[in-house]
Structure 1
Amino acid sequence: MDTKSLMIETATILFQQKGYKSVGLNELLKACSITKGALYHHFPNGKEELLIACLHALNETITTDIEAIFSGHQSTKEATQAMIDKLIHNLETDGTITGYTFSSIVSEMATVSEPVRKACSALYENIQHIYCTKLVTDGFSNESASAIALLMTASIEGAMLLCLTQKSIEPLKTTGQLLPNLMKMY
């Protein structure tokens, strides 16, 4: 793995686990086994530019994973349950769902940095687009699909945060049980 990719991968994990502001530059350099010069060589604008690169990498990884799950299932209901089951499995196996959630970064940085806000917004929009497309395929109108996709995104993201704060899989389990029923209402 090249230095830039290693920096993005390592920083993503640190930012998700500790938050952007809690990760000091020295900690980042040590975790990546790089010098300050190497950081600024790859990211001339420093730590915030690295964060944006991390968010772009997360966007690609999460979007690819969700697309694979949703294309591998016939209905939105089945795909959503499979995705939630995967999140629950990750939480039970790893004790975290770090690769999927980036809400801590959003809450910490979105009001401080417009480029970070835009990177986070793009990821949420991609997730909603995947959900919306599958819902339209299931026969929902564009308007209903868009509304349900927003509800799904908010529910699943919120459930992941609750799982992490409660150290429990119950919020995701409950969301997985209730979301299909809410889809029927439209």
Structure 2
Amino acid sequence: MDTRSQIMKIATRLFQYKGYNGVGVNEILRECKLTKGALYYHFPNGKEELLIVCLQEMNMTITNSIKEIFKKYQTTHEATEAMILKLIADFNQSGTITGYTFSSIVSGMDHLSEPVRNACTSLYTEIQEIYSTKLVEDGAPLEMAESMALIMTATIEGAIMLSLTKKSPEPLEKIALVLPKVCLKS
């Protein structure tokens, strides 16, 4: 693994567990066993640039995973249920859900910079587009599909955060029972 990729992998893990504000540059350097110069060589604008690159990488990983699940299933109902069940299985296996949410990283940032806000917006927009496209394929009118996609995104993201907070898959289990049936009847 090259140095840049190593920095991103370690920083992403630290950001996910401690949040952006909970991780200092010195901690990243210590974990990566690098000098400050090496970090700034790869990320000249420092920690925020590193965060944005980590968010962009997570965006690709998350959306690719969702796309794979949504391609496997014929209806939004089935795909949503499968996706939530995967999140529950991941939580039960590792006791956490890393890589499926940005919220744990940026929740403590009262004033997100425009580049960080754009990176987060991009992820949520892509997720909603995956959901709304599938809903339209299921026969939902575009405007309704877009509204339902927003509800799905907010509900799943909220359940992930509640599961992390409670250290329990219960919130995800509850939405697995309800969200596909209530919002996505097809």
Task: State TM-score, norm by structure 2.
Answer: 0.96
Aligned partner of 1:57 in structure 2 is: 57
Aligned residues: 186
Percent of residue pairs identical: 59
- Do the aligned partners of residues 110 and 127 (structure 1) sit closer, same or farther apart at CA in structure 2, a change above 3 Å counting? farther
- The amino acid that maps onto 1:84 is I
Query: Does the 8 Å contact 2:70/2:134 carry over to 1?
Result: yes
Report if the CA contact (8 A) 2:14-2:23 is conserved: yes
Does residue 20 (structure 1) correspond to residue 4 (structure 2)? The answer is no
- Cα distance, 1:107 vs structure 2: 2.3
CA contact (8 A) 2:77 2:185 kept: no
2:83 maps to which residue? 83
Equivalence for 1:47: 47
Contact kept, 8 Å, 2:19 with 2:107, in 1: the verdict is: no
CA distance 1:106–1:25, shift in 2 (3 Å): closer
* Distance in 2, Cα, partners of 1:53 & 1:184: 34
Contact 1:128 1:146 in 2 (8 A): yes
Residue 155 (str. 1) matches residue 155 (str. 2): yes
- Which range is displaced more, 173-182 or 87-96? 173-182
Q: CA deviation at 1:4?
A: 0.6
Q: Counterpart in 2 of 1:106?
A: 106
Moved over 4 A (4+): none
Q: Match for residue 177 of structure 1?
A: 177
Length-normalised TM-score, structure 1: 0.96
Deviates more, 1:1-10 or 1:104-113: 104-113
For the 8 Å contact 2:52–2:119, the answer to whether it is kept is yes
How far does the alpha carbon of each residue in 1:28-63 deviate from its partner, in whole angstroms, 9 at most, with x for none? 011112211111001000000000000000000001
Cα offset for 1:79?
A: 0.6
Aligned-pair CA distance for 1:105: 2.6
Secondary structure at 1:109's aligned position in 2?
A: coil
Partner amino acid for 1:143?
Answer: E
**CA distance in structure 2 between the aligned counterparts of 1:142 and 1:111, rounded to whole angstroms:** 33
Q: Distance in 1 between matches of 2:62 and 2:141?
A: 26
1:88 Cα deviation after fit: 0.5
Contact residue 110 and residue 116 of structure 1 kept, 8 A: no
Structure 1, unaligned stretches of length 5 or more? none
- 3-state SS in 2 of match to 1:48: helix
Question: Is residue 135 of structure 2 the alignment partner of residue 135 of structure 1?
Answer: yes
Instruction: Compare relative contact order (CA 8 Å, sep 6+) and give the higher one, 1 or 2.
Output: 2
Residues 7 and 176 of structure 1, relative CA distance in 2, 3 Å threshold? same
**Aligned-pair CA distance for 1:110:** 6.4
CA contact (8 A) 2:77 2:180 kept: yes
Q: CA-atom RMSD, angstroms?
A: 1.4
